Every structure is written in structure tokens, then in C-alpha cells.
Amino acid sequence: MNDRNKDPGVDGQPTAVNPGYAVFQIAKALTTAARLSSPRSERHEDPATRERAKEKIAKWETVLRNILTGAVKYGSRTPIEGAPNWATLEVITGGFATGGLLAGGPLQEHEQKLLADIPGVPDGTERRALNACFLTDAGLAELQERLQTGCYDVAVPEEGALMVVAWLVTNGYVEEARELLDKLAPYFSQLRFYPIPLEQPRQFGSHVHLQDVGNTLDRLRRIRPNSRILAQKEAVDIWLPLYDRMVALFLETVGNGWPCQSYPDGWSVRALALLGEYAELRKEHTLSGKMERVGEHPAQLRELLGKCARKPDSLTGREVGRIRLILNCYVAKRGAPDSPTCTEARRRQAADVSAPIFHAIARVAAARLERHPQDDGLDDVSHLQAAVTAAEAASSGVPAGTSIPPSIQRKVERCLNETVEVLVERGIIKSGEVIARVLPQMTSGLRAAGITDPALRQLYAAIYRAFRHRRSLLLLNLEKQVQIEELPWVAAIERFRSDSLSSRELAQQTLEEVVVLTLTSFPQAILPNKLLQELRALATGADLDIPLVDELATDIFMGKFSGKFVESTLRAAGLLHGTLYAAYYGIDYAEIRSGLNAQVVPAYAGTKCSWFWPATQSRSDAFAQLCASRAGVPLGTWHPATNGMIIEQQQILTTQNLAALFATLDLTDALRGQLDEMIKQCFRWICKRQQMKVDGWHARLIMLKNTAYAWRQMVFFLALLPNSGVADFLRWAGDHLDAQPEAFRDRFRPALKGLALAADGSSLDSAAAREADAHRFLGWSKTKHWLLADV
């Protein structure tokens, strides 16, 4: 893994962001761009795709320049000089700010339309003029009207600021409005604080969509013609009939089994005419090289036809023999041209390529979508997936009755408005990360539920949704990401939001439903950081204290954990002490809980406790030392593999949020009937993923890490079953493993042996475990992993 964010300085402490990560990303983007421009790559003919690749390169070049010049303070909550912490930054992979502000930059289309109604605006002052325009009587009246009708959108949180001002003024909070404007005015020339106008209000509730109609339409329009299929169609429709006619011409000259023995009257004229026809067709039809490929029969016969038509006597005996061979091969394969055998063969080939071209069908689906509002989802997409109608056939050329291919149907379904449960069931949502993307559409209403004024409630929800689209910044020294309450316009209306009992109950119910849905649908995956943001918001709304911990990046880990990691470990201790989970990972939760509560921590040799360190450090520091000691590595090395081993021990001790959620929400009973299948799903996923062909050493390490994480999830769920359930699973897992290919079966069996040994109450750190070749499955190692020994 890349040490992306640190330059070791004095005593190994990071002093600056390492430019190597940005250089690596530029190189990767350039490689992609080179592939995009390759003539052999059919899907990269799309200019928009190539343009996106160029934009990505430009952004990473900007980041590299910022690192080298120090123009951006990476690792800080306010990395851009002159920009407040609440400004929405343009952030790319790894949390790097490019220096751009998403509410700034060039004027957008709706801004240009607004500006056309303001005469005499000097260059460079357009955005200031637009912000000021909305503070006039007419501007405020327009904002107030949009507040009431809901005909607006907020793409970035700043676009809701002047709407808050308008609401405050309308409701008599003039002083509060003035104080808010004092905070916004210094940035009027840079940022847009006004909303995007809409013709119709957007609707949000329990139904969500993965993307709106406009984005779905854009994806359909990106479907380009498949050059290989077009070339095949051209070959069958154009060049094969021409080749058949060439063969027929030469067959007219056969005598005594040899071609070119006698030429009927007008033969040369017809041959030259056919060659002229070929030349004209070639000007228009260039996709197929069938008639041009050197060494293949069609190209050879075409060259020999030209020579024979112009100077029949110039053919050598070798060339006549070549013509004879080509004709014999042709006739042997399909008979003479116009024979029943040849006619039937050509009919089948024509039928094979007669189906409508994929991108033409996509255009039919796109035309259907164009009739709907672009900025929302659709409650019903069945009409978009129906067969092509007669009217559509007349305008598109796609035959009536043609079915919409499943892949296009799946693209269309991405704008379907449905519950999260239904979208998961239909395979539209395929991971916890995707759940996190759509969840703000639902949770925004819950966060705003405590606001009594309908207009303000809708505005708060719109700002919340926009805020949740912010990308996290790269932060160091345990700094926190900007919270929504830090936005001045949100802080100005926060006092009008109260958490009623009904809203708390609704938030808790939603939290439980989302957690259960995610764990049952994707039990093998840890809850992604983006989803944890939404779960924290729901927990806050439900007035629940759940110490949810993020997955930490190994390459920016600074050897410290915040207090919530300690709290999460204590929750795990209360749930898992004395269970299979504790036995498998060698955890004495009672001793750890006692030590952490007393602010002392047991020292470990491997996983065996030997003595206590004195309480000369905070619980968080002691916890970090505990994780390092369990991993058998020192803190503060800034080495990604070492950090990975420490972080993995943190995940083991905390269960990476599982124990905290199960204990607080009492999920054991709620999932009792589903745990068996969740455990088996984890094991099947691990077996499948471990056998996938993965190119590159780094990719194999990532695969190993993810399967070890899935194994840990499985062990946690297994620990909640009675002993009989554990025994049943071990028998099933043994049978499932026996059914796998021998190479994988032999390589992975030590992991299952280790689990069975722990279930019998034996330690995996014992001599008996070593003799039995039983392993504890971990994902990180400083040496070559035992699962990769033969790779």
C-alpha cells in the first residue's frame, strides 16, 4: 500500500504530505487515458469518457502542485487559505482537496439565465451581483415563494443559505438574518448562496432512488455502438455477398477442374465493374477488414481478380493454383454461390446479425426517459422496460416488438423510487456503500421532523441531503470532519428543531431497519464509513449513545485512537466475554475491561497477557499500546503493514461496530432466525473470493484483507449461536470446503481447523494448535501470509 500522506520528519513524526500518492494517481490516470484512446478499445470511443479521464488527470496535477508548493494545508479542517471550514471543497480520492470550491467556479446554466435579467454587471462581479439580487425585495419575495412551493433544489449546502435568510425575515427574525448575512457577505463574490430553481417540487420520503432520471438518461446516452458487432454486420451484409459474386465469376472460367481456362464474353468487363463496386463500397464501409486481410482468401481472390481481369495471360501457374485452392475450399464448405447449401448458410448468417443494435435500443429507452422530469426518480419504470412499440419502430428503425435487453432494463431501474429493502431485493443496491448513498434521501426527513414549520422543514432536509454528499477530507491528529451544525445557516435555524418522542422513535426504528437490512444483505462486509455517518445521524436523532468507529486508513494512521474506540471495546466486552469470538481471537475481555476502566492495560506477548503497564497514559493511549502489543509490533513506525496489523487488532477488539450495534439495539433476538444463513453466506463468499483470479500482488493483499474481515464477521455471528448451532455450522462448512477444488481446499483448511479448535475450547496459541496446523485467520502480516505461500 502507498504511504500517501506523510513525510517522516524528526523522530518519525509526519511533517508534510508525501507527493508520491498524487504521482501514483496521475500515473494510473494516464494509463487509463492511454487505454481510452487506444483504437482497439471499442467502449472508449465516447468523447465524454475521454474528457473525464483528462479532467481526472488535471485534478491530480493540481493536487501534486499544491503539495509541492504548500498551497493547500493537507491534514487540516481548513486546508484552503481564505476559505471557511464550512465551505464545500472539491475533494478527490484519498481526501485530497484540489483547492476548488463546489459552490464557486464558473457560472452554472441557471446562474447565467438569472444574470441575463440583471443589466450592466461588470466582469468578475457576477456572483456578487446575483447574491445581492436575492437580498432585494423582489429577490427575497422569490425565495419566499420557492420556500412555500418547494420548487427549488440544493446541490451543495451553500445554496440553501439565502433561503434561510428569507425564512428568518419572513418570520420576524430580522436580527438573526442580519447576523447570518454578516458571516456570508465576505464570500458573496466567490460562492453562490441561492438555490437552483425548479419547475416542480422534489418529493422525498420512505422511497429512495439510486440516481435521478437525468443521470440515468446520461448513462443511456453513453452507450456507444459496438464496433465489433457493427463490423460483423457489415461483413455479412456487404462483403460476403460481394465475395460470393467474385467466386461465381471465377467459377465461370473453370475448365477441366482448373480456373482461368476460358473466359465468357464480357467477363473482364463484369470483373472490373465488380472491383469498381468494391472500391466505392469501401469508401463508405470501413469497419470490417474482411476483404483487406492479407493472407486470407477474400483479399487474395480480390487481388487475383484484378490481375486476371486486366491481363488474363499474366497469371502464373502458382497463382492459378491458388485460385483453384480458394474455389475448392469455398465449394467444399458451403457449395457454389446460389446453391441451396450456400443460400441457407448466408440466410443463417444474416439472421444472426439482423437483431437490432444494442445502442439503437438504448436510444429508444432514452427517448422514453426524456419525457419525465430530469431531477427526480420514477415511481414506476415498467413502461420504460416494455417492448418497442410500432410508433417507436417507425422513428428509430428498431423493429416493433423488440424486447429491451436486461442490461438496459437494469440501467433504467436505477432511477426507480422504492424502499431500500425493495432496491436491495431487486439487486439495484449491491453493497453497504450504495445504501449509504441513498439513505440521506430518507434520513433527511427524519432529521427535519422536529421542525414544525413545513417550509423550513423541507429546506432543512434539502440542506441535509446536500451536506451528506460532501466528501470527507484527509485529516490528521484525530481532527473531526465538519459537522452540519457548523454551517452558519444551519446553526441559525437549529433552535427551531426539537427532537420529539415520535421523531426519536422513528429514528430508532429506521436505524434498526437499516442495520438489519445491511447486515442480512451483506453480512461479509464491515459497515462502510459513509454508512456510519448516516447511522450516527440516526442514533443522534434517536438519542442513543452508540460508539461507532470508522475504518482507519493504514497509510495515515498516527498510532492514536480516539476515546470511542475504547468505549466500543467495552461494549464488546459486555457482549462477548467467554464466547467463541473471544476464544478464537485469544481475548480476555474481563481483564481488558478491568484494565481499561482502571486506566491500566495488560501487556501481551502475541495474544497472551503477562503483566500490567502502570497508568501513566490515557485510556486511548493504553488502548493503542494494547493493539500494538497484541499484533506484536511497535507503535509509531509509520509503516503501512505494521499499521494494518495494529488496526486489525483494534477491529478485532471492537468487532468494528457489530457488538456496539447488537448490544444497544438488541439485534440478537431480531436476527435469531437469520444468523445461520448470514454465517453460511460469509463462508461461501470467502471461499469464492479466495479462489478468484486476482492480478497483482497488491490486489491479492486487498483480497486477503477483505476475506479476513469477512471471516471475523462470520465468527462474531457464530458466537451468538448456541453450541449446537456452532457444531452444525462446522459440519456444513467442512462439507462445503470438501466440495472446493483441491488446491484451495488444502490451502484454506488450516483456517477451518483453527475455528473448530477454538469451538472445542482449545487455544490457537498452543502447541497442540501448531501440531494440528490450525491457524487464526488474520488479514495483515509483515511477512508472507500463510494463505499466499503457494501464490
- Report DSSP state, residue 766: S
Average pLDDT score over residue span 627-639: 89
* 94 Cβ contact partners less than 8 Å away, ≥ 6 residues apart: 4, 5, 21, 25, 474
Taking residues 742-771, what's their average pLDDT?
A: 91
Q: Which helix (H) or strand (E) holds 648?
A: helix 640-654
Separation CA 400–CA 593 (nearest Å) = 70
Which range is least confidently modeled, 114-123, 480-489, 611-620, 745-754?
611-620
Instruction: State the pLDDT at residue 609.
Output: 44
3-class state of residue 604 by DSSP:
strand
752: Cβ contacts below 8 Å, ≥ 6 apart: 730, 733, 734, 737
Residue 121 to residue 186: CA distance in whole angstroms = 19
* 3-state SS class at 611: strand
Q: At 605, is the secondary structure helix, strand, or coil?
A: strand
- Nearest Cα to 233, choosing from 350, 362, 346, 359? 350
Q: What angle do CA 569, 570, 571 make, to 5 degrees?
A: 90
Please give the pLDDT value at position 605. Answer: 42
Contact between 198 and 458 (Cβ < 8 Å): no
Instruction: Say whether pLDDT at 442 is over 90.
Output: no
Name the phi and psi angles at 497, rounded to 5: -110, 125
> What totals of helices (H) and strands (E) does the chain contain, helices first?
35, 8
DSSP assignment letter at 711: H
pLDDT (tens digit per residue) in 517-572: 999 999 999 999 999 999 999 998 899 999 999 999 888 888 899 999 999 999 99
pLDDT for 691 beyond 60: yes
- Rounded Cα gap, residues 504 and 540, in angstroms: 9
Q: CB under 8 Å, gap of 24 or more: what pairs does 107-114 form? A: 108/192, 108/196, 110/196, 110/197, 111/192
Residue 438 in this model has a pLDDT that exceeds 70: yes
* Res 31 pLDDT > 70: no
Can you give the pLDDT at residue 57? 83
Distance of CA 636 to the CA centre of its chain: 32
Residue 353 has what pLDDT? 86
- Count of CA atoms in the C-beta half-sphere (13 A) of 537: 25
Residue 483 has pLDDT above 70, yes or no: yes
The answer to whether 532 and 657 are in contact (CB under 8 A) is yes
| Phi, psi values for residue 98, rounded to 5° | -80, -20
Q: What span, in angstroms and rounded, lies between the C-alpha atoms of 414 and 377?
A: 9
pLDDT per position as a tens digit, 389-420? 999 999 998 999 999 999 999 999 999 999 88
Segment 6-26, tens digit of pLDDT: 443 333 334 456 666 666 667
What's the pLDDT tens digit per position in 178-207? Answer: 999 999 999 999 999 999 999 888 777 778
Does the pTM surpass 0.85? The reply is: no
Closest to 765 measured CA to CA, from 755, 775, 756: 775
